[in-house]
């Protein structure tokens, strides 16, 4: 996710910017202690910075109940985060991926999708979260602002409320959307191979709303059992 910065932005503070970038790189929920350890900071200070980011609408917190002690706080980028006040974009990373396609001479749409699938496998994060939570977090970190929707047949649909590649899609919709479909398949390969990509429905990039329709695998987890941010 490309991160524009403004002086009045919560991300103008260096530690908060590092925390936001770290969550973006992890592409999954992470606990306060893990984030503090990775940055070499005290958890109490990190917690204060995370709360500032939460109040700015840039991250969300999920409280996980434990058998003993206080609930554990897990943090991830907010699905509707607008760093710098604008919808997130991903032009830099998209440029790298398209350069990878071109450098390998992969010009057919079939080869573009195959390359996207390789990229998706590389993007699949590790960690203790469920496959669905990881999938959702990756879509958030890429700037798609996903919204979960239960399908009538029991599957799961992600409605992508922002297109971070909107300008590139206008110029070359088939190539960019094919690359994205391949990345989605690759993410599923890495996170939940038994999940079927039942539908991939592109929409006007200006209005967004593309649909990623999943069946089986990670899609069988009921939405009412997913932890909610607070």
Across 204-214, average pLDDT: 92
The CATH number of the structural domain formed by 10-85 is 1.10.10.10
Residue with tokens 């970190």: 141
Using DSSP bridges, classify how beta strands 156-160 and 210-215 pair: parallel, antiparallel or unpaired. Answer: antiparallel
pLDDT tens digits along 139-155: 988 889 999 998 777 89
Q: Transcribe 204-217 into DSSP letters.
A: -TTT--EEEEEESG
The CATH number of the structural domain formed by 91-225 is 3.30.1380.20
Question: For the chain, what are the domain ranges?
Answer: 10-85, 91-225
Structure-model confidence comparison of residues 51 and 84, the more confident one = 51
Beta bridge partners of 62: 74
Across 39-58, average pLDDT: 91
* pTM for the structure as a whole: 0.68
Q: How confident is the model at residue 104 (pLDDT cuts 50, 70, 90)?
A: low
pLDDT tens digits along 182-203: 999 999 999 999 999 999 999 9
Number of residues that make up the chain: 230
pLDDT of amino acid 215: 94
pLDDT of amino acid 6: 46
Q: Transcribe 58-82 into DSSP letters.
A: SEEEEEEP-SSSSPEEEEEE-TT--
Residue with tokens 């088939």: 174
pLDDT of amino acid 225: 44
Using CA atoms, how far apart are residues 211 and 220, in angstroms rounded to an integer?
17
Across 39-44, average pLDDT: 91
Q: How confident is the model at residue 223 (pLDDT cuts 50, 70, 90)?
A: low
Q: How confident is the model at residue 8 (pLDDT cuts 50, 70, 90)?
A: very low
Statement: residue 118 has pLDDT above 60: yes
* Beta strand spans in the chain (E): 30-31, 59-64, 72-77, 146-150, 156-160, 196-201, 210-215
The yes-or-no answer to whether 10-85 and 91-225 have a common fold is no
Q: Which of the 8 DSSP states describes residue 2? A: B
Q: Which of the 8 DSSP states describes residue 40? A: T
Evaluate whether 35 touches 42 at the Cβ level (below 8 Å): no
Average pLDDT, whole number, for the chain? 82
pLDDT tens digits along 71-86: 788 898 888 877 765 5
Residue 223 has a CB neighbour count (10 Å cut-off) of 11
Most confident of 5-19, 96-110, 171-185: 171-185
Cβ-proximal residues to 199 (8 Å cutoff; 6+ apart), any chain:
157, 211, 212, 213
């Amino acid at each position: 996710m490309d991160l524009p910065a403004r002086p009045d932005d919560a991300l103008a503070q260096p530690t908060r910017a590092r925390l936001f970038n770290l969550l973006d790189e992890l592409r999954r929920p992470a606990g306060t202690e893990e984030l503090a350890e990775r940055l070499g900071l005290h958890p109490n200070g990190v917690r204060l910075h995370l709360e500032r980011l939460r109040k700015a609408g840039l991250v969300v917190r999920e409280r996980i109940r434990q058998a003993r002690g206080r609930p554990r706080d897990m943090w991830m980028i907010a699905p509707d985060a607008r760093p710098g006040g604008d919808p997130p974009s991903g032009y830099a990373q998209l440029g790298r991926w398209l350069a990878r396609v071109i450098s390998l001479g992969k010009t057919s749409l079939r080869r573009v999708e195959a390359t996207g699938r390789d990229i998706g496998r590389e993007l699949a994060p590790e960690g203790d979260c469920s496959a669905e939570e990881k999938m959702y977090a990756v879509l958030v970190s890429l700037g798609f602002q996903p919204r979960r929707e239960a399908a009538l047949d029991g599957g799961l649909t992600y409605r992508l409320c922002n297109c971070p590649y909107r300008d590139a899609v206008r110029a070359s919709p088939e190539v960019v959307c094919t690359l994205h479909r391949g990345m989605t398949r690759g993410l599923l390969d890495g996170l939940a191979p038994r999940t079927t990509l039942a539908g991939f429905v592109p929409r006007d990039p200006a209005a967004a709303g593309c649909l990623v329709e999943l069946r089986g695998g990670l899609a069988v987890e009921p939405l009412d059992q997913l932890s909610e941010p607070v």
